[in-house]
Chains A and B, each alone.
Chain A
């Protein structure tokens, strides 16, 4: 295990028990985050991004949610084994979270200043005066004049409210900030202000960041590492450069080609055919195969392991653009899927070095062809 790791998630599995069946929200997820690093967790609705975040905070609503297995190592402790009291100390002080909707995550009958001071006085034994003074500082840090301390959330606009939520999250200088779609409810110009704020604070306070979003543009702005999730599994993980310039997983490629580009000139988009599978009824094998243009018999039978295609770049696909020898390598691994996911980086000499774009020129054209066939 890498000593620089602040957070290490191993084989996390979270399910929801519903009347319709068992929802496999997060399946065997492994991730690690170094100190001061920022990770973008990307995926579409239902990919399990928020559940993962709630899992880290140990806030998965129970019932119906259950953390079936796995470990979450944070500063040498397994968060899943902590008792309620200890976990409360971690939340807010060590790890805090910014929720998507600033309208509903603030208490409407409490002034914003009190809400910030509350989280400070819970974690630090300060006098009320002292806590309030600190709250004013935090408020100013996120760009809100201290005079607005005694105002209520409804007196603030959306962007300001999100700043207040960020101020609460940062009040105790946490080591890890989890931001769940922090800018989705905001307009672009306000989004730009908030992103600017988050990345400045991250740099000043050396806070590690997990940014959950569906917007690949936002990730490119402030993250160093990217993890792409699909149907509760990590399908691709690597640095920004790995994911954006050397995309390997067919789902990630599909995501990129679905976004209309601002500087390009494409006439038609190439969407991913089909729909996200029902998490109650995940297809056997790789959960992406019904929508995948590379799918073979192999994909329908076994879940591919997360394998390192280049140092630090992990892909969960049997056909990740590797050549013959590596294909076989993957195939022989297919029965021992669970242990393979460990993201601790082993240097595998047998792996090929970086592959170029030329390799998936074919795939992309195939993608386009498939896209044109899509009816439903």
Chain B
């Protein structure tokens, strides 16, 4: 399978009155066509900025983005317009990412009009809109409804249909299910998986929900303060983590199971400021295993195992944390 997207040393800084925010700071990864890269992290870790920079909604401060063999770090306006047909985005909030004054049909039709799909033939475009609505599971009768008439799940389906309107190859999904109830969330996740299989789509899936990211991704990146601290196939991550932050993050997930005994790593304090960070390990201040070296040098992402990368000075010393797997769970007797 071929690599669709490659990102090398990507940086995105924002200048603010109180200093430069290093939102994304030296990120490297690649995605193969038809696969899903999951990006997890807590609020403020730069995961949304990463998504927006990759898709060229933001101009990167430094680094290269190679899409389908082409460098798209600084494209011309024309190139960018062509790129937009191939790269799309699904947003988190289905309430604010839709224009309240446009009907469902108009919303999905707009990208087709802009890119003059079907040579601008309105009837063909309308037919395509209705087909898209079928694809994402929206009843055709809703074509003339406005977003406020619909619930969150249906609105998110509009967002997906809009992203699919130009038949893209690559979609950045920024927390697409976070605003939805679990039963609806499951419907949308299934839909996204079906679409991926059918159209061989490539996703970057950004979320803070670890169980969702495990379910949908092939590869997971764990981000902390603008950097990738650990990257590996999703199944591997949930078996063994090398970075202390990933260990703490995974141990913090509340399990919907009774009688599971597990160690929880409680982190001290909260995520520190991304403004002008010092060149040391950014996790060192909260790290339960921090050693003097962590306060002196910045660790780089190194291979610790086949297909498994971590950025930690101590990955050999810190004990890989093990999650309880079904065989370890204790069944509680029903009293």
Closest to A160 in B: B270
B283 → A minimal CB distance (Å)? 11
* Partner of A192 from B259, B266, B324, B332 at Cβ < 8 Å: B266
Does the CB pair B332–A269 fall under 8 Å? Answer: no
Within 8 Å CB of B214, what residues of A?
260, 262
Q: Does A240 contact B (CB under 8 A)?
A: yes
Q: Does A272 contact B (CB under 8 A)?
A: yes
Contact A214 to B256, CB < 8 A, known contacts A189-B249, A193-B266, A245-B334: no
Contact A266 to B215, CB < 8 A, known contacts A188-B210, A220-B254: yes
Does the CB pair B255–A192 fall under 8 Å? Answer: no
Contact A375 to B215, CB < 8 A, known contacts A187-B42, A220-B254, A244-B256: no
Chain A contact residue count (CB 8 A cutoff)? 57
Does the CB pair A375–B137 fall under 8 Å? Answer: yes
| Residues 235-280 of A contacting B (Cβ, < 8 Å) | 239-242, 244-246, 254-266, 268-272, 275-276
Does the CB pair A259–B258 fall under 8 Å? Answer: no
Within 8 Å CB of B137, what residues of A?
374-376
Q: Does A159 contact B (CB under 8 A)?
A: yes
B142 → A minimal CB distance (Å)? 9
**A129 vs B308: C-alpha distance in the bound complex, in angstroms?**
58
Q: Does B331 contact A (CB under 8 A)?
A: yes
Closest to B255 in A: A217
Most chain B beta-carbon neighbours within 10 Å: one of A239, A260, A354: A260
Does the CB pair A258–B185 fall under 8 Å? Answer: yes
| Residues 343-376 of A contacting B (Cβ, < 8 Å) | 354, 371, 374-376
Stretch at the interface among B93-101, B116-124, B176-184: B176-184
Within 8 Å CB of B321, what residues of A?
none
Contact A269 to B186, CB < 8 A, known contacts A189-B248, A192-B264, A263-B326: yes
Within 8 Å CB of B254, what residues of A?
191-192, 195, 215, 217-218, 220-221
B131 → A minimal CB distance (Å)? 14
Q: Does A45 contact B (CB under 8 A)?
A: yes
Within 8 Å CB of A271, what residues of B?
183-187, 190
**A133 vs B251: C-alpha distance in the bound complex, in angstroms?**
36
Within 8 Å CB of B181, what residues of A?
44-45, 214, 276
**A266 vs B325: C-alpha distance in the bound complex, in angstroms?**
14
Q: Does A4 contact B (CB under 8 A)?
A: no
Closest to A221 in B: B254
* Partner of A263 from B43, B266, B325, B335 at Cβ < 8 Å: B325
Q: Does B52 contact A (CB under 8 A)?
A: no
Task: Encode B290-326 as 1/0 by CB contact (under 8 A) with A.
Answer: 0000000000000000000000000000000001111
B45 → A minimal CB distance (Å)? 9
**A149 vs B209: C-alpha distance in the bound complex, in angstroms?**
34
Contact A189 to B323, CB < 8 A, known contacts A246-B334, A262-B214: no
* Partner of A220 from B182, B256, B331 at Cβ < 8 Å: B256
Does the CB pair A310–B334 fall under 8 Å? Answer: yes
**A218 vs B258: C-alpha distance in the bound complex, in angstroms?**
11
B297 → A minimal CB distance (Å)? 24
Does the CB pair A187–B190 fall under 8 Å? Answer: no
| Residues 189-210 of A contacting B (Cβ, < 8 Å) | 189-193, 195-196
Within 8 Å CB of A215, what residues of B?
254, 256
**A221 vs B325: C-alpha distance in the bound complex, in angstroms?**
17
Task: Encode B117-152 as 1/0 by CB contact (under 8 A) with A.
Answer: 000000000000000000001110000000000011
Does the CB pair B257–A244 fall under 8 Å? Answer: yes
* Partner of B189 from A45, A188, A189, A260 at Cβ < 8 Å: A260
Most chain A beta-carbon neighbours within 10 Å: one of B154, B253, B256, B258: B256
Ordered by A's residue number, 15 sampled pairs between the chains whose C-beta atoms are within 8 Å are A160-B270, A189-B267, A196-B266, A214-B182, A217-B253, A240-B258, A245-B258, A259-B186, A260-B211, A260-B212, A261-B256, A263-B324, A271-B183, A374-B137, A376-B138
A190-B270, A214-B181, A262-B323 given. 10 additional CB < 8 A pairs? A188-B42, A192-B264, A192-B266, A217-B253, A221-B255, A241-B333, A254-B183, A263-B323, A275-B153, A354-B334
Interface residues of B (CB under 8 A from A): 42-43, 137-139, 151-154, 181-187, 189-190, 193, 208, 210-212, 214-216, 235, 238, 248-260, 264, 266-267, 270-271, 323-326, 331-335
Interface residues of A (CB under 8 A from B): 44-45, 157, 159-160, 187-193, 195-196, 214-221, 239-242, 244-246, 254-266, 268-272, 275-276, 310, 312-313, 354, 371, 374-376
The 3 nearest A-B residue pairs measured at CB: A217-B254, A271-B186, A260-B215
